[in-house]
Chains A and B, each alone.
Chain A
Amino acid sequence: MTLALVAAAGVAHAQPAPPGGSLPIEPAPPIEPAPSVVEPPPPVVEPPPPVVEPAPPVEPAPPVEPAPPPPTVAPTRPLLAGRGAVFGLELGLGAALGGDGMFGAGTGKAFLVGYRVERWVFEFRFGESYDQAAQAARLAAAGARGPLSVTSGGFRRIFSGGRLSPELFVGGARLERPLLVDAKVVPQHGVGLALGGGVAIPIGPTVRWTVEARGYLARWDNPPGPASTAPVDDPGTGVTFTPTVEPDGGLPFTLTTGLKLVL
């Protein structure tokens, strides 16, 4: 098809029509075929049949990297900025250092509610009790145990830090600890100063894991009757004591760990 079109164009070029048509007509030279200026096309190469190759193994798409945050500062709330409520739940140990030594360390728990203004928290700790059993085995077997109970309120300062943020607590407390009076476990009440220190580890936007030790400088109010101290366990006669009307309450302290919801 391409060749035929080119040949027709060559004929028209060789016999142009004169304007006016008055020139003598000379015999036209024999028409020679115009030289072809078009090279014959190369032979059509049939495309090779498609070779079916096994599909390469599909590799999992690389994980989509989260887009980096824009360089501009997002209007998010900085950690511990603003103010809000605080709720907490703690488990731990409680004991009295020194004192009459009648009752040993006990395990227990505490709840707390508070209100935070930036890095200051006013908190109220309630339901805090640690079940202290008598240190003498026979007394403990007879169920001679009672709670070291603490109800406290005070201020907490959260210091800035890296993953560990130190905290200090100071406040007041009402305490209760067990005494053995006339073979019965009765409470000895006290009030005093609460001092604490610990660390908090953020484990979420609003949740902090805390570890804290607190000590209480208490003034005790003794119950009526002499309290049993210095037990001596005699298998034959029972357990004997040195009674006293001024039992030494010692220095109560607690070591707790827990979770705080900081809103």
Chain B
Amino acid sequence: MRAGGLAALVTLAALATGCGATVATTSGTALVAPGTSGGVTNTVRLYDRGGPVSRTILRTVAALGAASAAVDHVERTSTSYTAVECSGGSCAEVTYTTTTTTTYVDPAKAAAAAAAYQRFSDQIAATPYRDFPFETVLDIASRDLGGDTSGWNVWFWYHGSPRPVGAVGLALSAGLAGGHLHFHDRTRTTLAGTSAAVVPVTEQLTAEHAYVGTPVRVTMYLRGNLSLYVQPDLNWASTLGRLSGDEVVDANPWRLGARARLGRFELGAELVTDGMSVHARSLGAEVGLVY
């Protein structure tokens, strides 16, 4: 049932205008704690390059902005009342406070915001698919696909236009991302002992990778629809976890990759590392149809 739904989703994405679907396999030790064994992650990756999802996300953000711009002022009023409550033979005076928030909309501001939203929406609608600079990528990992990983990642990208630099083109992209992966049945080796002697200790576990990222990508466009990229990625989930004192995996993914297009056919290879460490790296390959 789940595999059938996934297959239907992939087929739909592969055929829809502005969308695409690929399958990817990645093997290595990236995104897990030091001493954790490597494994294989197989994913289905759904792309929306200027398609309906990316446009809907932009329209939603614009609508929220328009609604915020229409607000004239906000009033908060608090009312309190006191009641005597008895329990177990003793009574106490309890004060309850109710806070009411009232938002007042300025009709003139609302009209202006609605007009601005409409212009923005029309501009979105009028932009052709291939000129649309926003992209949404949903990565679905499942053990049903043969790997040891389950979970998901999602990216929302803004891709800048390439600028010629010498014989190549350079482009900067920035985005927001999030996700959560479980790496099942891995083993982790740690050290136990003192500063004079240690012994390795191994345990079996399901490693987790939480991801709230602000990735940035520098892409170098070569000839023949070939591009290379480097993508540093600040993972706020691990940064905030480390600041709060939790024992978390300090995984800030960095990705070095190459992509090639042959019509709608797309190939990719990617090296994923934690902060460019050679000790925490995974190598992946991807193939599929993308609009």
Specify which of B165, B189, B198, B232 is in contact with A111 (CB 8 Å cutoff): B232
Among the listed stretches B31-39, B104-112, B115-123, B153-161, which one makes contact with chain A, having 4 or more residues with CB under 8 Å of it? B31-39
Complex Cα distance, B277 from A108, in Å, reads: 6
Task: Kindly supply a per-residue 1/0 record for chain A positions 51-64, scoring 1 wherever the CB is within 8 Å of any chain B CB and 0 otherwise.
Answer: 00000000000000
Residue of A nearest to B279 (CB): A133
Q: Are A181 and B195 in touch, CB under 8 angstroms? A: yes
Q: Are A238 and B196 in touch, CB under 8 angstroms? A: no
Q: Which B residues from 162 to 216 make CB contacts under 8 A with A?
A: 164-166, 170, 188-200
Q: Are A141 and B200 in touch, CB under 8 angstroms? A: yes
Task: Kindly supply a per-residue 1/0 record for chain A positions 135-158, scoring 1 wherever the CB is within 8 Å of any chain B CB and 0 otherwise.
Answer: 000111111110100000000000
Complex Cα distance, B172 from A113, in Å, reads: 16
Residue of B nearest to A205 (CB): B165
Q: Are B189 and A141 in touch, CB under 8 angstroms? A: yes
Contact-residue size bin, chain A (C-beta under 8 Å from the other chain)? 35 or more
Question: B63: CB under 8 A from chain A?
Answer: no
Question: B53: CB under 8 A from chain A?
Answer: no
Residue of B nearest to A238 (CB): B199
Question: A121: CB under 8 A from chain B?
Answer: no
Question: A159: CB under 8 A from chain B?
Answer: no
Q: Which A residues from 155 to 184 make CB contacts under 8 A with B?
A: 180-184
Complex Cα distance, B195 from A144, in Å, reads: 13
In the assembled complex, how far is the CB of residue B41 from the closest CB belonging to chain A, in whole angstroms? 19
Question: A207: CB under 8 A from chain B?
Answer: yes
In the assembled complex, how far is the CB of residue A81 from the closest CB belonging to chain B, in whole angstroms? 20
Which A residues touch B193, using CB under 8 A?
A: 182-183, 238
Which A residues touch B254, using CB under 8 A?
A: 109
Which B residues touch A207, using CB under 8 A?
A: 165, 170
In the assembled complex, how far is the CB of residue B160 from the closest CB belonging to chain A, in whole angstroms? 12
Residue of B nearest to A225 (CB): B195
In the assembled complex, how far is the CB of residue A24 from the closest CB belonging to chain B, in whole angstroms? 105
Complex Cα distance, B254 from A109, in Å, reads: 9
Task: Give the interface of B toward A (CB within 8 A).
Answer: 33-36, 164-166, 170, 188-200, 218, 230, 232, 234, 254, 273-280
A contacts with B: majority SS? strand
B contacts with A: majority SS? strand
In the assembled complex, how far is the CB of residue A79 from the closest CB belonging to chain B, in whole angstroms? 15
Complex Cα distance, B279 from A143, in Å, reads: 9
Specify which of B35, B165, B196 is in contact with A141 (CB 8 Å cutoff): B35
Q: Are B194 and A140 in touch, CB under 8 angstroms? A: no
14 contacts between A and B (CB under 8 A): A129-B275, A131-B278, A131-B279, A138-B200, A141-B200, A142-B200, A143-B33, A143-B34, A144-B34, A145-B34, A183-B195, A204-B166, A207-B165, A243-B194
Q: Which A residues from 95 to 140 make CB contacts under 8 A with B?
A: 106-109, 111, 127, 129, 131, 133, 138-140
Question: If A109-B254, A239-B198 touch, does A184 touch B191 (CB 8 Å cutoff)?
Answer: yes
Q: Are B195 and A182 in touch, CB under 8 angstroms? A: yes
Complex Cα distance, B192 from A30, in Å, reads: 151
Complex Cα distance, B274 from A240, in Å, reads: 29
